[in-house]
Amino acid sequence: MSAQNHIRRMTAPQITARKGGDPIVCLTAYDAPTAAIVDEFCDLILVGDSLGMVVHGLPSTVGVTLDMMILHGRAVMRASHKALVVVDLPFGSYEDSVETAFRNASRVMMETGCQAVKIESGSYAAETVSYLVERGIPVMSHVGLRPQSMHVMGGFRARGRDTKVADEIMVNAIAAAQAGSFAVVVEGVSEEIANQVTAAIDVPTIGIGASAQCDGQILVTPDMLGQFERVPKFVKKYGNQLEATRSAVSAYANDVKARSFPGSANLYHFKKPAS
């Protein structure tokens, strides 16, 4: 039996139990090679619908389909062995009714093997969260800046910077937690409201553009690696993948033009006949 078979994945209850404890390390992954790397360091891997923008070049997450999420979820599950894997339910796949939400969430879990799903939620989705959890589907909720609602919100803008919106975010977070969410992502809000939300709910908050005092943090991995020139203000670039890739491709192109690649080390030749 391989060593990987002895590794037990993090579970949703274990994530919940980290409330107020050791910070929860989370990143996104959309493919097997990335998942294999981040799995070593992360407690939770999110197969986010952000893949629509960072992988497929879509202008927003609204065009992401359930089939796309399942395809990428399968890839991440194949390469990860330790972290809890959460797959986003995309826009239009859970808002219609609790029955629709369950049908699509159960399909995602059955076809990918993931351990939980995430929905952009608030008071309006509390019934959906409760319905899914009661039927065996762990749910991570998402409040604050909700990318699937960008058309209603007027774009990708930070929220929770005035009292009215802050109160709305607080109500949504409390509703999501009380409905049974095992954790709540808090995105693009003021530090003050993120701290208040973290103190107000009894499940972990996972911050992204929120506060260092959240129970955990998540970033879109290509943003964090420096794959793009422009990233949101809340992203800290831990690498410069864009420049590294450009440099490598430039060197390759130059070698091809100079006919210095492939070299002898990269070529095959007839085998010498046996004597």
Q: Is 49 annotated as a binding residue?
A: yes
Q: Is 50 annotated as a binding residue?
A: yes
40 is catalytic: no
Question: Please, what sign has the CA dihedral across residues 106, 111, 113, 116?
Answer: negative
Contact 183, 204 (CB under 8 A): yes
What does the DSSP assignment read for 208-275? ESS-TTSSEEEE-HHHHTT-SS---TTPPP---HHHHHHHHHHHHHHHHHTT-SS-GGG---PPPPP-
Q: Cα(217)–Cα(44) distance, rounded to whole angstroms?
A: 10
Q: Is 167 annotated as a binding residue?
A: no
17-28 in b/e form (b: 16+ CB < 10 A) is: ebbeeebbbbbb
Beta strands in the chain (DSSP E): 24-28, 44-47, 84-88, 116-120, 139-144, 183-187, 205-208, 216-219
Helix, strand, coil % over all residues of the chain, rounded to 5: 45, 15, 45
User: Of residues 40, 127, 187, 191, which has the active-site annotation?
Assistant: 187
H or E segment at 177? helix 163-178
What are the Cα distances from residue 260, in Å, to 36, 131, 254, 255?
33, 62, 9, 5
* Cβ neighbours of 274 (radius 10 Å): 4
Give the chain's length. Answer: 275
Q: Is 260 annotated as a binding residue?
A: no
Q: Nearest to residue 202, comparing CAs of 57, 11, 21?
A: 21
Q: Is 168 annotated as a binding residue?
A: no
Q: Which residues have a catalytic role annotated?
A: 187
Could you list the residues known to form a binding site for Mg(2+), using ranges.
49, 88, 120
Could you list the residues known to form a binding site, using ranges.
49-50, 88, 118, 120
Could you list the residues known to form a binding site for 3-methyl-2-oxobutanoate, using ranges.
49-50, 88, 118
